[in-house]
Amino acid sequence: MKVLANDGISKSGITALEKAGFEVLTVQVAQEQLQNYINEHKIEVLLVRSATKVRKDIIDNCPSLKIIGRGGVGMDNIDVEYAREKGIEVINTPAASSASVAELVFAHLFGGVRFLHDSNRNMPLDGDTKFKDLKKNYGGGRELRGKTLGIVGFGRIGREVAKIALGCGMKVIASDNYVGEADITLDFYDGQKVTLKIKTEPVDQLIKHSDFISLHVPSQSGYLIDKEEISKMKDGVGVVNAARGGILNEKALLEAIEDGKVSFAALDVFENEPTPSIKVLMNEKISLTPHIGAATEEAQDRIGTELAKQIISILHK
């Protein structure tokens, strides 16, 4: 049986699949050539991340496919329900990358409140001639401790973000359409544990009370955070989007940064990905990463292993 990992897979995942008798192909096939490649090589399992799209044309015209796997959480690049209607199993790895995304959120938060993203741009340029000016420019930072973090979307990733926030001494409030409350357990190195209960509240309440807001919802049909929502936020709020492009109105965000409503933003995902707006990329108050939330060695290892387990379980029944 052949597996095509079109967007890559960890060595641990390849090893597990090969031990179970699968042939794993890791060539990256262009989207327009994917259908022909699957049929030519009689691929039974197609594994993707966010780059490759698996739409109805591939599902209809590739009869050898038995499983479509997404290495990660969101599956908006796959026509999931249609594939399942056609008898194809669709799997993903919702828990494998949660910690990595949460840590990236806090990398952006720590950087944002101390202007690290902009300082790292300008120190190489002017650090040797304008040191005192730069020190003055970047000296008015804030602490996260004691501040309120609003988490919009309280699934696996949102809860991992909450754990780090609580560990930093922040107050956490959350909003979720499906979760009323959740137990957040902090595990310490010596085996001790502390469990705290977080109750959710409507988004329109959360945005009023939060010093910082982190978004963790699936792809939406429209903006979750638009001009109206931003207008209700605290003055000087910081906003992080490491979820999906298109849930935050970037034009409204830029306007809010310009008038001082938003003190800084951090984006790992973008409306026009993979060609983000130049105005977004050039704004000195936005911390930027190229959709790398799950891109840690540990997360990719867990993703590969988890996909392999699911594939073996389904096809070796």
Q: Which of 108, 156, 291, 302 is the catalytic position?
A: 291
Q: Are 232 and 142 in contact (CB under 8 A)?
A: no
Take residue 242 and report the two structure tokens written for it: 């490491």
Amino acid letter, residue 3: V
40 included as an active-site residue: no
Take residue 126 and report the two structure tokens written for it: 């002017």
Q: Which of 228, 225, 224, 232 is nearest to 207 (CA)?
A: 232
Q: Which of 56, 63, 65 is nearest to 6 (CA)?
A: 65
Q: Which of 89, 201, 255, 273 is the catalytic position?
A: 273
Q: Which of 156, 244, 250, 302 is the catalytic position?
A: 244
Listing from the earlier edge strand, what are the strands of the sheet with 286-288? 171-175, 148-152, 212-215, 237-241, 262-267, 286-288
Site of tokens 């594994």: 47
Amino acid letter, residue 51: A
297 included as an active-site residue: no
Pairing of strands 193-199, 212-215: unpaired
Quick one: which H or E segment has residue 185?
strand 181-187
Residues paired with 194 in a beta bridge = 186
Q: Which of 276, 277, 310 is nearest to 291 (CA)?
A: 276
Residues paired with 198 in a beta bridge = 182
Q: What are the backbone angles phi and psi of residue 153, rounded to the nearest 5°?
A: 100, 105
Cis peptide before 124 (omega within 30 of 0): no
What's the CA gap between 90 and 199, in Å, rounded?
Answer: 32
291 included as an active-site residue: yes
Q: Are 240 and 212 in contact (CB under 8 A)?
A: yes
List the catalytic residues.
Answer: 244, 273, 291
